[in-house]
Amino acid sequence: MSDSKAMAQKTTGALSLLALAAGFVFLILLSNTFLKGVRLDLTENGLYSVSAGTAEILAAIDQPLTLRFFFSDLATRKIPGTRIYANRVREMLEEYVQRSAGMIELQIIDPLPYSEEEDLAANYGLQAMQGGRGSGAVYFGLVGTNDFDDVIIIPAFHRRNEQFLEYDLSKLIYTLSHPQRAVIGLLSELPLAGGWNPATRMPEQPWAVYGAISEMFEIRALPKDGLEIEPDIDVLMLVHPKQLPTATLYAIDQFVLKGGHLIVFVDPLAETDITATDLQNPFNESLGDKSSSIPKLFTAWGVQFDPAQVVVDRQLALVVNAVEHIGILGLGAAQLNDDDVLTGLLSNVNVALSGHFTLTDNATTTLQPLLSTTEDSALLPIGRFFYLQDADTLRDGYEPTGQSYVIAARLSGQVNSAFGDLPPDNQGATNAAHLARSIESVNIILVGDADMLANFLWVKISNFFGQAMLSKFANNGDFVANALDNLAGSEALISIRGRASFSRPFEKVETLRRMADQRFRAKEQELQAKLEETETALSELQADPSDSQVLTLSDEQNAEIDQYIAKRSEIRKELRQVRHDLDRDIEKLGRNLRLINIALVPALITLLTLGLLAFRRRRQSGQ
């Protein structure tokens, strides 16, 4: 009887295992059928999830798009870092395809050396990188096309641009879906487009920044008086707006409230403003007003800008005529917002006699800094810059405020009209057409320096056999191009921000390495000091021997030298031990991690499974 009972238990156990296996297979089939395409992103920063802005762009695609992802898989076998990042890009592209409702076709191409695929990559203009000895050229880029034969490329994916990967991909998709060039409405009181210079009585060439943006966008000049902002204008660009008439201010106000995108360059003292110069007495700077602002609109937007103050900074001062000018600043990477697509990949931006922005106490908007000063900055009245003969005098009485000032920023949030609930008199607008509050959050970029657009702050132009050659020494032009490119996109594209890096450091390993490096550095400094003492002692012993003298060391001196040499050997031994301890601690951590991954986790799963089986058998035995 007991044998039959044992046999029945074994049979029941075997059937239970078979049932579990069958259930497992059944669940896989169900998941493949009903959960196809469903993904769960458990990464800390949602690296495999797209933002709401990207999802909106993908859902709005109205024509088939083709993406050709070129990656030299064979040539990168010995470049693990590139392969890891390529896998990240590929998975992101697959996520885009998954969310495009069949509107995006993805082709993954390995351009082998001397193949037609390699010729295709080169013809598209993808960047060929060196992959190492014997591996040939490495291609790692993307080509996007639409039904109108428009081609947009990303010549090469670089790890340094990783945080903006989603933005770059979404921008490519958006541009292919909207192939027409964006229209920039330009209202400028500075001669960006060139023209007649009344001071020199000669025509001037367009500024370099104007030439750069003209290649990217359709630039439409707008008048200061009787301004009408046509519906097809994607971005309004105001440069050095001075005493704008009410009708023009109202047109700008309603353009912004209806969702129009705006970038405005204001300035407390624009050196390039030749219209404010007294041509009869050009040295009389105080007669001409070279400041600009739009205070009525700024107040409605909750923004403060004082055109009577100039931001100065001792740490960022640029050298002008062999003197550091604390009003002409070179903003480095630390002063540029590295989380924003406008400035994240720029190195430096130069500004001259700029102002700064703050929010009013009752502001409903948000100010996101793009360009800022250090905390070793201060504010000076513009009068200090009139008749300035020696820039060193600006340092007299210098007292830093300990505050970082915002020179350029994004402004967002809902705002009210600067004209209240009714349009101003005689402006041609009916009450029904007037907006008293923005439809949605505004998108405005504020820049407190108009001179940053001028050539002298960022580019050198030379003549090479009749051709103008541009040599950039700052990223001012890139900043303007990025700003216009970003604002010319949809609200969805503008909303996409930088993401965290895919590569995650081994924090425990880095902590161990830093601790050991600190000890190593201290010992190294100690060794260096001892070596210097030894060399000094030897130099003193050998000091000024005459030609007829023979240098002789006493027993005490020899003993002292031997002592230094022995101490040096001892410290070197300690250095080797510290390095050995560092490697030993890291190796120990690695062994523990491998043990957990290879042995402990499977063992826990096995024990849990056996425990469940034993529990079920006891229950069956009890019954």
> Does residue 165 share a domain with residue 189?
no
Domain count, the chain: 4
Residue 380 lies in a domain: no
427 burial via Cβ count (<10 Å: 0-12, 13-18, 19+): middle
* Lowest-pLDDT range of 41-50, 423-432, 437-446, 554-563: 41-50
Distance CA 75, CA 249 (A): 59
Who wins on pLDDT, 606 or 171? 171
Residue 337 lies in a domain: no
Distance CA 93, CA 573 (A): 53
Helix boundaries (H) for 100-202 = 116-124, 165-177
CATH, residue 155: 3.40.30.10
> Does residue 186 share a domain with residue 166?
no
Mean pLDDT value of segment 493-505: 61
Q: Which of 141, 176, 211 is the last residue of a domain?
A: 176
pLDDT over threshold 60, residue 495:
yes
For the chain, percent helix, then strand, then coil, each to nearest 5? 40, 20, 40
**Residue 236 DSSP SS3:** strand
What one-letter code names the amino acid at 168? D
> Does residue 171 share a domain with residue 255?
no
What one-letter code names the amino acid at 493? L
Distance CA 475, CA 351 (A): 11
Residue 375: HSE in the Cβ half-sphere, 13 Å Cα cutoff: 2
Q: Which of 478, 453, 494, 491 is nearest to 340 (CA)?
A: 494
**Residue 485 DSSP SS3:** helix
> Does residue 251 share a domain with residue 186?
yes
Burial 152-180 (b: 16+ CB within 10 A, else e): bbbbbbeeeebbbbbbbbbbbbbbbbbee
Residue 603 lies in a domain: yes
Report the pLDDT value the prediction gives residue 547, as an integer from 0 to 100: 46
What one-letter code names the amino acid at 539? S
Q: Which of 129, 154, 176 is the last residue of a domain?
A: 176
| Tokens 């014997």 found at | 134
> Does residue 131 share a domain with residue 105?
yes
pLDDT over threshold 50, residue 606:
yes
Report the pLDDT value the prediction gives residue 489, as an integer from 0 to 100: 86
Phi and psi (nearest 5°) for 52?
-65, -35
What one-letter code names the amino acid at 353? L
> Does residue 448 share a domain with residue 300?
yes
Q: Which residues contact 306 (CB under 8 A, 6 or more apart)?
A: 268, 355, 356
Distance CA 78, CA 552 (A): 60
**How would residue 549 be classed by pLDDT, with cut points 50, 70 and 90?**
very low
What one-letter code names the amino acid at 3? D
Q: Are 453 and 192 in contact (CB under 8 A)?
A: yes
- For 564, the token pair is 């230094």
Mean pLDDT value of segment 471-488: 93
DSSP count for the chain of H helices, then E strands: 13, 23
> Does residue 272 share a domain with residue 409?
yes
The beta strand positions in 342-450, using DSSP E, are: 349-352, 357-359, 366-372, 377-381, 406-413, 442-447
| Tokens 């800008």 found at | 305
**How would residue 425 be classed by pLDDT, with cut points 50, 70 and 90?**
confident
> Does residue 185 share a domain with residue 172?
no
Q: Are 135 and 78 in contact (CB under 8 A)?
A: yes
Residue 101 lies in a domain: yes
**Residue 118 DSSP SS3:** helix
pLDDT over threshold 50, residue 292:
yes
Torsion, CA 406, CA 293, CA 221, CA 246, rounded to 10: 140
- For 318, the token pair is 């640029």
> Does residue 5 share a domain with residue 137?
no
| Tokens 């009916």 found at | 430
Q: What is the pLDDT of residues 333-365, one digit of tens each?
A: 999 999 998 998 899 999 999 999 999 999 999
Residue 241 lies in a domain: yes
**How would residue 462 be classed by pLDDT, with cut points 50, 70 and 90?**
confident
Q: What is the pLDDT of residues 357-401, one digit of tens each?
A: 999 999 999 999 999 999 999 999 999 998 888 999 999 999 999
Q: Which of 176, 209, 224 is the last residue of a domain?
A: 176
> Vertex 345, ends 135 and 494: CA angle to 5°?
115
Q: Which residues contact 566 (CB under 8 A, 6 or more apart)?
A: none
Q: What is the pLDDT of residues 63-115, one digit of tens each?
A: 999 999 999 998 888 888 899 999 999 999 999 999 999 999 999 999 998 89
Residue 474 lies in a domain: yes
Q: Are 379 and 400 in contact (CB under 8 A)?
A: no
Q: Are 147 and 116 in contact (CB under 8 A)?
A: no
Q: Are 225 and 250 in contact (CB under 8 A)?
A: no
Q: Are 32 and 472 in contact (CB under 8 A)?
A: no
- For 322, the token pair is 């062999």
> Does residue 62 share a domain with residue 170?
yes
First to last CA, the chain: 16
- Beta strands at 309-313 and 218-221: parallel, antiparallel or unpaired: unpaired
Report the pLDDT value the prediction gives residue 548, as an integer from 0 to 100: 43
Q: Which of 247, 257, 223, 222 is nearest to 433 (CA)?
A: 257
Angle between helices 165-177 and 52-59 in degrees, nearest 10: 20
Distance CA 385, CA 165 (A): 44
Cross-strand pairs, 104: 65
Mean pLDDT value of segment 206-212: 93
Q: Per residue, what are the HEC states of 556-575?
A: HHHHHHHHHHHHHHHHHHHH
Report the pLDDT value the prediction gives residue 256, as an integer from 0 to 100: 96
Domain housing 59: 52-176
Q: What is the pLDDT of residues 563-596, one digit of tens each?
A: 766 776 776 676 666 666 656 666 666 677 667 6
Cross-strand pairs, 107: 68
> Does residue 184 share a domain with residue 172?
no
Residue 210 lies in a domain: yes
Who wins on pLDDT, 186 or 427? 186
Residue 602 lies in a domain: yes
86 burial via Cβ count (<10 Å: 0-12, 13-18, 19+): buried
pLDDT over threshold 60, residue 602:
yes
> Does residue 420 share a domain with residue 533?
no
- Beta strands at 137-145 and 195-197: parallel, antiparallel or unpaired: unpaired
